[in-house]
Structure 1
Amino acid sequence: MKRTVILTKPSAQQARWIEALKDQGYVVESIPLIHIEPLPETAAQRSVWLDFDQFHGVVVVSPAAADIVLDRLDAYWPQPPIGIRWLCNGSGTAQVLLPLLGSAVHYPQLGNRAEDVLALPETQDVQDQRWLIVAGEGGREVTQPALEARGARVTRLEVYRRTGIELGPETQQRLTQPNAIVQISSLAALDCLTSQASMVTKQTTPLLISSPRLDSAAREHGWQHIVNAQGASLEAALDALNSLQEPTS
């Protein structure tokens, strides 16, 4: 018998996960924990979009950032500027960019951390190049200082914010159902869940997380059953889920 997987990603990012999980026999429930809110465009950001063709490379850190990038390109550029190296942290973000940008999109085949992006060949020889990072508010700021240390001139645009969603009592109870594992892929989602979870939930509900950073944070918050997928991609999550010993029926 396959587990129930509770997806906590924003609703707009769940379709590919739901299809793939169901194809492998999992029961899937949707309990979004985070709402993605695009930030108002500033004059400084507008200037960046208008000068987009001046960048040698663009790092897009999430599917939400990718959606906003494509929206801005559509608004300002009838055709995407050519010659830009597009980098992202995993297949989920790449799936958003590929239909428009095709072979210009690169991402690590193993790992999805900023460090893995910085190991790509496209980021090595960047002396005097202009690079853009498109991200949400907060988060790890690893890529910018690393590129700057390699001689690049880097602009960072924060284009959205994450806000936690308040769960009602019935929804909180669904998190503790037998045979369920809760997927968590961001600190914001973990913080939102932890602030609303009971002690029983933290002691009994397994978490499927995506990185050592989330692993450490979950343990500090008192979660007892943690499965580290070693990556935030759908493929990494499926590998981790399929490696779990299935409970006997």
Structure 2
Amino acid sequence: MSDLDLKGRGILVTRAAHQADDLVERIQTSQGRAIRFPALEILACEQPGPVRDLLQRSWDMIIFVSPNAVFHALKLLAGNRLQATLGAVGEATAAALRQSGYSIDLLPADRYDSEGLLMLAPLQEMTGQKVLVVRGEGGRALLGEGLQARGAEVGYAEVYRRVRPAVDPYPLLAQWQEQVDLVTVTSIEVMENLIALVGDSGWPLLQHTPLLVISERMLRHAESRGFQTVLLAAGANDDAIMSAIQNWVERTS
């Protein structure tokens, strides 16, 4: 039994369907109401052959940007082992690698994002280093560009695609005012997909519902988009998200 008490508040969970179960369960065991509305779908890359070849080349360092990157890369490798210094942008990504029997050489200590990774001492001088960044299609350029500026030769293995789900928002919007007390989003892309999915008719409801984000960058983006109340979790993991939800419940009870 959780020692948190969300007092029956309705929490909209917008994670991709295959990644939402743990957070949904924690909300429900904490006396909250988890409302599933995936605003992102993760699909395998359309042309796996060239990506598999990239993964099997010789690299000095391979950096994974998300648990999805780990899952889809290891699926493409079909049991072949990676032989390189391994880095992970965040703890969830590192955990996914550890579950597959890998040790993590590079992991940010304070902030789990590309900026945090680029602060690590081993990444300050990269002349002559061959680095593979494993990510989804069209991922952020900051990490690769930062490493290139320090002398690294950077490749990108884009092992999955992020797409906006084809869902009907009407059932959710029809009950929004009675059911949804807080919205959680875990990336800017999820936020933008959610805005698009609810459409013009749903935007006033979404805009005036407290929005929980997981980074300062997301907070600034949400404020620029016009969200009225934006809450910031201390990190991207479920513990940080649940703690932020609990703090909000206590402040608003």
Runs of at least 5 residues in structure 1 that lack an aligned partner in the other structure: none
| Alignment-mate amino acid for residue 218 of structure 1 | A
Q: What is the TM-score normalised by the length of structure 1?
A: 0.86
Aligned equivalent of 1:6: 12
Matched, 1:135 2:141: no
Any conservation in 2 of the 1:35–1:162 contact (CA below 8 Å)? yes
| Alignment-mate amino acid for residue 121 of structure 1 | A
Deviations 1:174-213 (A, max 9, x none): 4444562111112221112112252431343111112222
Deviations 1:110-161 (A, max 9, x none): 2122100112234234321111101112232111111112221110122222
Runs of at least 5 residues in structure 2 that lack an aligned partner in the other structure: 1-6
Within 5 Å, give how 1:43-192 maps onto structure 2.
43-51=49-57, 54-74=58-78, 77=80, 80-82=81-83, 84-104=84-104, 106-165=106-165, 166-178=167-179, 180-192=181-193
Change in 2 beyond 3 A, CA 1:59/1:220: same
Range with bigger deviation, 116-125 or 145-154: 116-125
Q: Report the aligned-residue RMSD.
A: 2.3
| Alignment-mate amino acid for residue 211 of structure 2 | L
- Count, aligned residues: 242
Matched, 1:215 2:219: yes
Any conservation in 2 of the 1:6–1:182 contact (CA below 8 Å)? yes
Q: Distance in 2 between matches of 1:181 and 1:159?
A: 32
Shift of 1:100: 1.5
Aligned-partner SS, 1:58 = strand
Matched, 1:38 2:44: yes
Q: What is the TM-score normalised by the length of structure 2?
A: 0.84
Any conservation in 2 of the 1:164–1:188 contact (CA below 8 Å)? no
| Alignment-mate amino acid for residue 134 of structure 1 | V
Q: Distance in 2 between matches of 1:69 and 1:42?
A: 10
| Alignment-mate amino acid for residue 30 of structure 1 | R
Change in 2 beyond 3 A, CA 1:31/1:134: same
Any conservation in 1 of the 2:44–2:160 contact (CA below 8 Å)? yes
Shift of 1:170: 0.5
Matched, 1:225 2:229: yes
Any conservation in 1 of the 2:97–2:103 contact (CA below 8 Å)? no
